[in-house]
Amino acid sequence: MRIIAGKYRSLVLAEFAGRDIRPTADRVKENLFNIINARIAGARVLDLFCGSGGLGLECISRGAAEVQFNDISKASLAVLNKNLSKLKGEQNYKISNADYALFLNAAACPYDIIFLDPPYKTEACAAAVKIISSRKLLTNSGIAVAESDRPLEGAEGLELFDRRKYGITYLSFFRYSID
């Protein structure tokens, strides 16, 4: 696993031992960032189920103004901290250790980009999309990107505007409904 582009291009990231954790595949990550690249510079980003931090770290490398990393797993945050230590002098990030629903329900300000990449075979993506919609956690032009093992639909006020499939992985892109 590595950072694809930007200031830290080609930086090799620490990964989890074993097969219990599924980081975003390089091919999926590369396609995702090709789609959203123009939105990253200066963005406020939430990497909600951050794991090792690959998505948020890619945003830091590409010039995001701030990245909020969150994961319920202390083991995930330990790997994230190893990866953050490889970034020289970066301070434009925050880390929290909370359940995704508790984090979203306590979030105070909107984000330009929200990444949702929970463990597959859970309902966490769909539930998170509903909370993001009901709490208005995206800026007016913001997007939420969900990585899942099944196609997702929007929630009231938040529409699905793009979906891509890579093998067993679906990327679903959400924004506020345009009337």
Tally of residues, the chain:
179
What confidence tens digit (pLDDT) does each residue in 29-74 have?
999 999 999 999 999 999 999 999 999 999 999 999 999 999 999 9
Mean pLDDT (whole number) for 126-139: 95
What confidence tens digit (pLDDT) does each residue in 73-119 have?
999 999 999 999 999 888 999 999 999 999 999 998 899 999 999 98
Give pTM, 2 decimals. 0.94
Domains and CATH numbers, the chain: 26-176 (3.40.50.150)
Helix, strand, coil percentages (3-state) for the chain, rounded to 5, are 30, 30, 40
- The CA distance from 80 to 60, in Å, is 13
